[in-house]
Chains A and B, each alone.
Chain A
Amino acid sequence: MEWLNILIQGCLLGGIYALFAIGLSLSFGIMRLVNIAHGDLIILSAYAALVVTQQTGLDPISSLVIVVPVMFGLGYAVQRGLLNFTLTGGLLPPLLVTFGISIIIQNGLLQVFGAYTRRLQEGAIETASLQLPGGISVGVYPLIVFVVALVSVGSLQLLFYRTGIGRAFRAVSDDADTAELMGIDNRKLYALALGIAMIFTAIAGVLFAIRTIFDPSSGPIRLILAFEAVIIGGLGNIWGTLAGGVLLGVSQAIGAALSPTWQILAGHIAFLIVLIVRPSGLFPRTRD
């Protein structure tokens, strides 16, 4: 039963990694943008929730009512005002501009909030657990996070394949120039895409910060985890991203079962193995 327990815990851990990765997968899938600041935007969302909870007395999950629209607006504005200008000049501009944004967010948070570690408090739900047959106990909170990840991926699926805007997203992803000829305003659509990516980033940030301590320098490792989930799952495939997150979580759980110091390393090694064996990921869809 030991291995089953590891598997279940790993899957649940994978839920939060998938949530980290959805925003990244989305911005890559639609506009081929690799957002280096993604991890820092996750942490920025956590700090935004911290401020909202302190100012209004709301609990962290309810604070999403404010944090999500704020992050959506920020994503829209950053894409419209900054990143749209980098999409034509080759590889370096988007990479370096998001790199600059990353450093500005990290050091800005450091200036405002200091280097202290923080946590969001959600109350009793954090420690509640379910007893499964066979002596396996499953945390209620990780389960909720996993369900949120599932619902997020499902709703994006609906958005992409059942709505007009989703059709526009797919068109731009397939061939941006032709889509523009057909009357789509790519720049507006890109801004909307990063805005939507930020919705999931905000949710990921707040759910993560309820369970784990964070500080201004917590962003980069989240970016790496998100990136690994996206690559493992295959570029541009949102269900693949979920699978990638789960595989990453399971690898880490196996590593942690061997020795606690091996947890993160095991995830990186699983990623590198996938990279060497199947460079385009397990379920690729988008052509690079």
Chain B
Amino acid sequence: MQTERVERATKASRIAAVAIVPFLAVLASLPWWGDSGDMRLVGEMAYYLALAQLWNLLAGYAGLASVGQQAYVGLGGYAFFYMTGVLNINVYPAFILAGLFAGLMSIPVSFAVFRLRGAYFAIGTWVVSEVFALSASLITVMGGGAGTSLTPAILREISANRSSRETIIYFATLASSIIVCAVVYFLLRSRHGLALTAIRDSEPASASLGVNTFRTKLLIYVATAACTGLIGGLIFLQKLRISPEAGFSLNDWTVVVIFMVVIGGIGTIEGPFVGLIVYFVLREFLADYGSIYLIFMGALAIGVMLLAPAGIWGFVLQRYGLQLFPIQRRLVVVS
């Protein structure tokens, strides 16, 4: 008798699942063999990976090509600094609250920007971010346009010792990045993920088959805003200082992230990993030539968009069917 079962894992994904353990172990042991510069670099890669996964979820799956995600990085950062510095809330709950605050703020924002479609949605989200940046520069208790720093008292709350503090922040960043990736992964495997993948492939078709596209998009918008806010708090804990310009920077928190996702492969979980590596390799190699690496990234993104819109990983997927994070369901016939 012939039966079928639904399978997700592939050979490549099983290998990847095993290989990820020693890889994470190497990253987790970094504080014992690397210096604080290494930790900062890997920490930066970790939060960029999280931002890239979140933007990919928004633009690659839900079709919400936002160029205003810096709004939530800034809001998370500002909320974190405000709660620890002004309201004297302990650092750890402040993180969670900063994320929740960013998520909460995204709800009224969605009322305005969800009225816009396509590229107009993109610039609309950007305007909203500008509004937040200008508003932040009006808050005198946060230093106005000049910004504010974390006080030593808050840092002592984490640890009185500088190197152990750096280690704790490193672990927090690493853990948050892993959590965000896991959230994205499990979300895409869930019922909502199926709806999202359908929306990615064809919005009218998915709507006609009963997917509530508006509610799914709203859910994703709010969820990514909350996660982006959480990462924002961490980023500025690492930087120790926030200003409207740094917090709501289009270039730092959105442009770079978009290039990573596009080059790596939009609409795949593996893409942001590939784009992350391309970005950091380019940046480290061209570090002596000012902003040339950004010109390279821009040109590369244009080239990818015109010649291979699915990005580097999309090419690999098409050619070899390689999938490291199994989110697809496949029907396997067993006799």
Say if the beta carbon of A272 comes within 8 Å of chain B: yes
Say if the beta carbon of A120 comes within 8 Å of chain B: no
Say if the beta carbon of B102 comes within 8 Å of chain A: no
Q: Which of A82, A96, A111 has the most CB of B within 10 A?
A: A96
Contacting A at CB under 8 A, from B94-116, are 111-112, 115-116
User: How many A-B residue contacts, CB cutoff 8 Å?
Assistant: 121
Number of chain B interface residues as a range? 35 or more
User: Is the pair A92, B65 in contact by a Cβ cutoff of 8 Å?
Assistant: yes
Contacting B at CB under 8 A, from A89-110, are 89, 91-97, 99-104, 107-108, 110
Contact of B131 among A101, A108, A268 (CB under 8 A): A268
User: In the complex, which residues of chain B have a beta carbon less than 8 angstroms from the beta carbon of A265?
Assistant: 131, 134-135, 138
Say if the beta carbon of B291 comes within 8 Å of chain A: yes
User: In the complex, which residues of chain B have a beta carbon less than 8 angstroms from the beta carbon of A269?
Assistant: 131
Smallest Cβ distance from B293 to chain A, in angstroms? 9
Say if the beta carbon of B306 comes within 8 Å of chain A: yes
User: Is the pair A100, B301 in contact by a Cβ cutoff of 8 Å?
Assistant: yes
User: Is the pair A223, B123 in contact by a Cβ cutoff of 8 Å?
Assistant: yes
User: What sequence of 0s and 1s flags, for each residue 161-191 of chain B, a beta carbon within 8 Å of any chain A beta carbon?
Assistant: 0000000000000000000000000000000
Closest residue of chain B to A221, judged by CB?
B130
Say if the beta carbon of A288 comes within 8 Å of chain B: yes
User: Is the pair B120, A231 in contact by a Cβ cutoff of 8 Å?
Assistant: yes
User: In the complex, which residues of chain B have a beta carbon less than 8 angstroms from the beta carbon of A279?
Assistant: 115-116
Contact of A96 among B63, B115, B258 (CB under 8 A): B258
Contacting B at CB under 8 A, from A37-90, are 82, 85-86, 89
Contact of B59 among A92, A224, A276 (CB under 8 A): A92
User: In the complex, which residues of chain B have a beta carbon less than 8 angstroms from the beta carbon of A215?
Assistant: none
Smallest Cβ distance from B311 to chain A, in angstroms? 11
Question: A85-B306, A271-B127, A272-B112 known; A95 and B122 CB under 8 Å?
Answer: yes
Count A-side interface residues using an 8 Å CB cutoff: 41
Contact of A34 among B122, B135, B290, B301 (CB under 8 A): B122
Complex Cα distance A223/B130, Å? 12
Say if the beta carbon of B271 comes within 8 Å of chain A: no
Say if the beta carbon of B262 comes within 8 Å of chain A: yes
Say if the beta carbon of B124 comes within 8 Å of chain A: yes
A-B contact pairs, 25 of them (CB 8 A): A34-B118, A34-B122, A34-B123, A82-B302, A91-B118, A92-B59, A92-B65, A94-B119, A99-B67, A103-B259, A103-B295, A104-B302, A107-B294, A107-B298, A111-B290, A220-B250, A223-B123, A224-B123, A224-B126, A264-B130, A265-B138, A269-B131, A272-B112, A275-B112, A288-B120
Chain A residues with CB under 8 Å of chain B are 34, 36, 82, 85-86, 89, 91-97, 99-104, 107-108, 110-111, 220-221, 223-224, 227-228, 231, 261, 264-265, 268-269, 271-272, 275-276, 279, 288
Q: 10 additional contacts, CB 8 Å, given A91-B118, A221-B130?
A: A36-B123, A86-B306, A91-B119, A96-B301, A104-B299, A111-B292, A224-B123, A272-B127, A272-B128, A288-B117
